[in-house]
Structure 1
């Protein structure tokens, strides 16, 4: 029972290290360890028919479980980064790219609009109980990828190919989210350019930037219901990508 519990604990702790929301720096490390231990104990009790012998290959199995947990958490959270990428596209067109914020969750610079949309998505994430969806996913991962399984796809090109497809899907989602605002701001640039040609005395650099900021905020205000509805689809896509990746890891080939 103890070797099985340790393997389950390693996979869960690795998952919480890379999974969205659960991996935030603001969450105390003791809480993460305690949550992993409690959840690992529950999962271990439900896996009473599994037996893992304590042999010399046990350290290699521990490393395999750590890689599985990290990769599943990364696959689950990869599409979530589309929000910040979309915010980067919007800020680059708006002019907010010169004033980035330091995200306390990962310690890197993030765009202002991307951070706003990301915080809004996290609020909707808990309101829609999407965190339960990820907990169910990591629980059923032990059925898709048993602890005694080899997970050969993790060490082959199949796993990397699946992650790259999720990476491309992330940029496609970010482009779809940013397209309404970026396209509208492009029309604003065209209008300002026409005005600059017809009225040369007008300083377009003084008028253009405030106009683009006002237009972007107005469009963002009217597009907010669409973004909120888009978040639910994003959660479904993330869960689907997580499930497909686990099925790939559990495949014999």
Structure 2
């Protein structure tokens, strides 16, 4: 009981709480508006309380550098959650490519989870990806990542931003995100490209046929059929996306820790 109310351990607990709260503010699934804010704060507090007894915080006092440590902890939590959110955004980017080809790009919807506009197909893919993440207990792995981050990034150590490997690592992560987005979208986009080629040939051979009236419903029908056949491929790509997600978070924490 004395350890719980020890005033000397309060700076360490506050640093842990700041990193966990910042992580939950940007990470996928836990940062959505549909989750009540008191639930996020309560979960962050109890998780920080559990981490407090597993982390060796050393001797940290309220001195001139403590404000910079608070800013560092907030930055670490925000960046780790943000890099995970960016990688999962590949699903919505792929949906945007597909919607642009099938004619649904004009009908964006408001995502109630993030409050931003998202394409219809991208939202459909994103919901399936989140359900798949929950079904394989991926959210437990994400929480385990923020718990293990204290082994890579101690509380009393600052981030070596002069390390050029951090910028290169982030650029490579963006490249992987767009590559997976293209891999998800290319089967349906390729089918729709063939439909455009066929409609162009029909427009030249049968000028009396209005291809603009026939083309839109035909492309929508072909897109739905292609989605039905390529859904198994999409699940495999999402699984690969999660593997990249967990590997990227670990690599970023190692770079932040100076490794």
Q: Does 1:192 align with 2:193?
A: no
Residue 98 of structure 2 corresponds to: 90
Q: 1:163 Cα shift?
A: 1.9
Q: 1: distance between equivalents of 2:55 and 2:111?
A: 39
Which of these residues, 123, 131, 140, is aligned with residue 139 of structure 2? 131
CA deviation string 1:129-184 (max 9, x = no partner)? 0001111111110000011111113x654433322221121111101110000011
In the superposition, the TM-score normalised over structure 2's length comes to 0.94
8 Å CA contact 1:77–1:238 kept in 2: the answer is no
Extract unaligned runs of 5+ from structure 2: 1-8
Q: 2: distance between equivalents of 1:173 and 1:162?
A: 17
8 Å CA contact 1:90–1:182 kept in 2: the answer is yes
Q: 1: distance between equivalents of 2:79 and 2:56?
A: 25
Which of these residues, 47, 71, 80, is aligned with residue 72 of structure 1? 80
Q: 2: distance between equivalents of 1:48 and 1:74?
A: 26
Q: Does 1:179 align with 2:198?
A: no
8 Å CA contact 1:192–1:204 kept in 2: the answer is yes
Computed over aligned residues only, the root mean square deviation of the Cα atoms, in angstroms, reads 1.3
Q: 2: distance between equivalents of 1:172 and 1:215?
A: 24
Q: 1:76 Cα shift?
A: 1.8
Q: 2: distance between equivalents of 1:190 and 1:104?
A: 37
Extract unaligned runs of 5+ from structure 1: none
Q: 2: distance between equivalents of 1:48 and 1:92?
A: 52
Q: Does 1:25 align with 2:33?
A: yes
SS at match of 1:96: coil
Deviates more, 1:171-180 or 1:223-232: 223-232
CA deviation string 1:86-111 (max 9, x = no partner)? 00000000000011101112211100
Q: 1: distance between equivalents of 2:20 and 2:126?
A: 24
Residue 48 of structure 2 corresponds to: 40
Q: 2: distance between equivalents of 1:169 and 1:230?
A: 12
Which of these residues, 216, 239, 251, is aligned with residue 246 of structure 2? 239
8 Å CA contact 2:17–2:45 kept in 1: the answer is yes
Q: 1:49 Cα shift?
A: 5.9
Q: 2: distance between equivalents of 1:80 and 1:186?
A: 26
